Structure 1
């Protein structure tokens, strides 16, 4: 990748990130001031930055509590911020979820409850249903993460195991007025899937949860199945309150496209809801690029959420879905001239590593060969982080304090 192309790819990624931030997005969407308190509750990787942005926009007193991922807190004036584990829940998340539910249940008829939800809330609001332990939720969550299940399937199971998700937080808020603001990290922007929909009615029931567990061969005993059946009776079935979307994957891609035009590139958006196995999507995109007629520098943009399935007999290496997608794309293009690409998670963390993602250009394959790095082997081992780190191709941003999921850009000259 030439220096100019590298700077361009990073610039369009940063344009997408800026557009996904909550600052300035509450204006024109604020509710009327209540006669009683304004209580702010929330969860997700962007929960702290959303709380800070709400405080800036709200010209009246407010109080409350939000939980975000470790190292994702930002300063707030009146809303308490606590941190917990993601993607596997921990005791801190359980304690925070219990406090949030207690606060919601204490809201009165004259109060306004503002709920801030973003990606990651499913793990951070870790309040197990009766009959389910935190250890149960941790084990099932780990199995789901390794299974390759798409986010909507995972969140269907998470709702079935939760005392607070699947609209149960909205029920606790009644009779107070409820307004929810969300930053979407899910394909299709389904409000019930974002953070497993703590304030959104759910149409799914125990049969859907059981079918997903069976499909992905996640064994649970009769105790868990009985708990899911009993918990189904507490799910919210009719929406209540207002729901506002502050940022979505498509909004971020459109901002990236605008930035690309400013750089003299022709943007093409393939879609914001691309799912599938990361390595398979990478190979498919390589084939699409080869078949695409290009007569000027063109930037192909896409979002969504791919998955990585680690088989029972596979060891699994370091890296996340964006790095694996990019390694598959690079391997399939095999050093074809004029190709460069970047793939990152917009929350700044790809999987469980310290990078947002990675980038490559046509020199990657030759550079790897000179260093004795077998890209195909690393791809088979789900170990994309290692070669990109060795070849100095990682993208490291630190926490971005937002999350609209995968960002991919392929530049073709």
Structure 2
């Protein structure tokens, strides 16, 4: 297995305003990439005919949650899967309404790429700004802005160029680096999987081509070696009584047998003796592989400890600032006590202060806020009961992220990013 092989799975999230064609776009991707069973297509055709449509309503393929949404039931993220000969895909389909900001944060937190839909007739809307800000906040490396419903503006190039200009002006205020713009009609299929004959002025790639070819191998941090220990393996059989292995998932860097490593928090050093994947020895391991390592020395290591390189150590500390999305109906105030989970470590934490809340629509900081409510995004300072080993989220999304838990209800109340 090599680093390139991990390039075969692309996780992406879709975001946009209500009725901008998100369901139709996902349906079109599934349909044109031949990722749908024939009985599903037949059912959708029948439903479309019953509604009196003279076309196949592909949004019906993804609108299973519509009835629940109308009843006011909380919508979680819907994950959909499809594949082409080049790549496998996981789509995190998140609701567009402002009250579901927390759902978008959940769906986008593991995404390599975000598709942001803009209705060609309406241009940039409040939702566009909000979703782009969240994509920037979560450091999603790649963004594709799909200007949809081009068929309703007569495939006008000027409309497309105006939206590009407006979006670039807005995106310049944020950390969104790799942005692509594609004019599409999800309903008609223009530039989604197949090139459009109606927009010969557009010379760029189709949406599916971008999804298949965007380079994501370099998105992972292969420089800073980080191995949070999840479990210590001590078999109780006579033949393995001297075996002591450390199992976990690599969250950064490349490890090889013979490498010198440092154990946090003890500071002891040793060398890697073996690395095993599914019981078989391997020559190197890298993020996001789950492996078992053995060391040449017997050291006191337990769950929550971390193996790193001696000359490349994360920040070790108990005081840190984090940007959080608050997910609970119970409000958060200063001096609150919660549980924190960070990689494989869990400890108590106290919220020292709410520094400011972000107005997601204007990007303004609202200071002097005493408390924050559900779907708010805010910067807070916290103190943990035990030292954490962390990197800034912009450098490593795994060692730079936390979740906060209500110790009384065990409810996940916030997702956070270390600044």
| Same fold by TM-score greater than 0.5 | no
Structure exhibiting the larger radius of gyration computed from Cα positions: 2
Between Structure 1 and Structure 2, the one with more strand by share is 2
Normalised by the length of structure 1, the TM-score is 0.24
Normalised by the length of structure 2, the TM-score is 0.23
Between Structure 1 and Structure 2, the one with more helix by share is 1
